[in-house]
Structure 1
Amino acid sequence: MASGSIVDEAIAWHVRLQSPAADGTLWAEFTAWMEADPAHADAYDAVAFADDRLSEELAGAGTIATPSPPANNDNEPGALPWYRGRAFLAIAASLVLALFLSPMLLKSPGMESIAAQPGETREIALADGSKIALNGGTTIALDRKAERFARLESGEAIFMIKHDSARPFIVETGDGTLRDVGTIFNVRQSADGLEVAVSEGSVQYQPGSEAVTLTAGKQLRVKRGTSKAIVSAIDPATVGGWQQGRLSYRDAPLTTIAMDLSRSLGTPVTVSPDLASRRFSGVIRIDRDEARLFRQLESLLGVRARHSAKGWQLTR
């Protein structure tokens, strides 16, 4: 790629990857560029976030020809790279550079906060055909002017994203960023950290120099306060099972199970401190008859379930 500012390069990659001619070689070169410097990922994210705005402006600026593969030699003296033509940069650079230098602008007035209360679920239909389902006790922020972006503020959601290789879907969480091209994946954000499980397609965690790619049947966990991502196998059929009232676990602490039960039932569920380290593997089926559900959990988890005005507590 010709030399230039990081923003110029990010704009160039953004347009190149939209071409139907983009192949595996081009994507490999793009990945190498992203991994070369964390600032590259930040710049490219700014381009992706601004995509909808750019598309509207560029439509009035004329068609930009599909570029030829970059030559090995430098550009001829005085010649501008195809992507630095006046018609493109006059519109794109000002928008993308503003986003790149001012992250607060990403939280535009178009951001809308949507919540699902504990004990209820909600489904959100996006204009491009994608869907997001919210579990109970979940809050998400969407930008209606850039619908390929969401910020999961708390709780759990499953994303069913329509394929668009030119416009990746970005999910921002308190523990990292996810980039998706078209797939189904579940994201859980809690006080313990971040958990991502993929049912179909693939998702990239922390796109950039330390990117971790998750394919179908893979699950990632990042403990709050750490940067280490732990990847493990998972049955794709269990991803988002909460939608059918089915909670699946593999060596999960009882505190996580209590949190999930609280989210699904709308009733607080806690664990006594002496059980905090106990773990469980298996499937729990949600029963709206709480008394019956907790009698079953006593046997399944090997605990006692006590009910009070404050909710349920699992004890020895």
Structure 2
Amino acid sequence: MIDARIRDEAALWMARARDPRFSDWDGLTDWLESDPAHNLAYESAYAAHDLAGELSLPAAPTPMPFSAATAAPKTRRVAWWTGGGIGIAAAAAAVFALVLPSAGPELMVAQTRPGEQRMVALPDGTQVALNGDSRLVFSAKDDRTARLERGQAMFSVVHDENRPFTVDVGGQRLVDLGTRFDVLRTAQGSEVAVAQGAVLYDPQGAAVRLGAGRMLRKNDRSDLVEVSDVDPALVGTWRSGRLVYHGARLQRVADDLGRLTGEHVAVAPTLAERPFTGVIVVPAHNRGQFLNRLGQVLDVDIAKQSQGYYLKARAER
């Protein structure tokens, strides 16, 4: 349980970070990384603010009206709210209906446009934050079963031993063991990073158990599964506009920026594999100016094109 002091500190940091004049990102990063409870409290502060915030959304999430024990109607409703202070969805889209197909297995689809963040609340209290350009599919007859078809999602799961929460990603299953975890699905493969608790990856095959502070990468072109360490406090920081890298490929950085900003960001083939280490803070506004200035951080030239932004080698000065 998070104590009152940490909750108060998180609320203060959240309020300061939402101010366009805020500049103490190093201080916020240090505070988040000093204790995993800080990151959890910070997320809770954001969620509470958004639920009661200026978009006039419902005071509490409206649960999806189906369960494994009841027949599902043809139309579903699910509660959404803009997350992390960087969503661009209109308030009118906060609660909406999804019309399901009349034939075949019934599914509920949650998806976002590039540059848009959403949060979905499930009836059991589980919450899922979706990054931009993401698509998550739930079974209409079992809201504890989901499939991430593309993009990125942070799961905060209410554990139930009798009904484990499962996520299909890239044809492999993740089984919740009482968890907060982040999942990324791209055209190349999948990543899973655990902030709290544990998940079991591919229980019928490799059966890799990932605890807090562990990350798994799986390339679709290989049978190998790579497991490494990750700071639990840094898992899911994209929700507050913060991207943290340690030797990441520049192509990966560009893909992340595209999801988060809604702009198409391409990389020259000669630079795609260049490693980058650092922290990028994506602002809530003036993202075009932000991307234009980002060249100095990434040590590239950035060209604005009709279809978006292009990262290329620096010209000789």
Aligned pairs for 1:259-270 within 5 A: 259-270=255-266
Q: SS of 1:152's equivalent? A: strand
Aligned residue in 2 for 1:92: none
Unaligned runs of 5+ in 1: 1-51, 58-106
Aligned AA for 2:206?
A: E
1:125 to 118, 121, 126: 121
TM-score (norm 1): 0.65
User: Aligned-pair distance for 1:291?
Assistant: 3.9
Determine if the alignment matches structure 1 residue 220 to structure 2 residue 216.
yes
Contact 1:221 1:231 in 2 (8 A): yes
Task: Please give the root-mean-square deviation of Cα atoms over the aligned residues, in Å.
Answer: 1.9
**Which has the larger share of helix?**
1
How many percent of aligned residue pairs carry the same amino acid? 40
1:229 aligns with 2:225: yes
Which residue of the partner structure matches residue 97 of structure 1?
none
Q: How many residues align?
A: 215
Structure 2 gaps of 5+ residues are 1-66, 72-102
1:296-311 alignment runs, 5 A limit: 296-311=293-308
Deviation at 1:294, TM superposition (A): 2.5
Distance of 1:300 and 1:215 partners within structure 2: 33
Check whether the contact 1:175–1:224 (CA below 8 A) recurs between aligned residues. no
CA contact (8 A) 2:159 2:165 kept: no
Q: How far apart are the structure 1 equivalents of 2:233 and 2:262?
A: 25
Structure 2 residue 159 is matched with structure 1 residue 163: yes
Give the conservation status (yes or no) of the 8 Å contact 2:250–2:271: yes
Q: Deviations over 1:210-241 (max 9, x none)?
A: 21111111111111221211111111111111
* Structure exhibiting the larger radius of gyration computed from Cα positions: 1
Paired position in structure 1 for 2:279 = 283
Alignment of 1:39-118 (within 5 A): 53=68, 109-118=105-114
- How far apart in 2 are the matches of 1:145 and 1:125? 16
Q: Report the secondary structure of 1:273's partner residue.
A: coil
Determine the C-alpha separation between the residues in 2 that align with 1:108 and 1:248: 42
CA shift at 1:56, angstroms?
A: 7.1
Q: Which residue of 1 aligns with 2:239?
A: 243
- The residue type paired with residue 220 of structure 1 is L
- Separation of aligned partners in 1, 2:185 and 2:113: 15
Instruction: Spell out, residue by residue over 1:228-266, the C-alpha distance to the aligned partner (whole angstroms, 9 max, x if none).
Output: 111111111111111100011122111111111111111
- Amino acid corresponding to residue 286 of structure 1 in structure 2: V
Partner of 1:178: 174
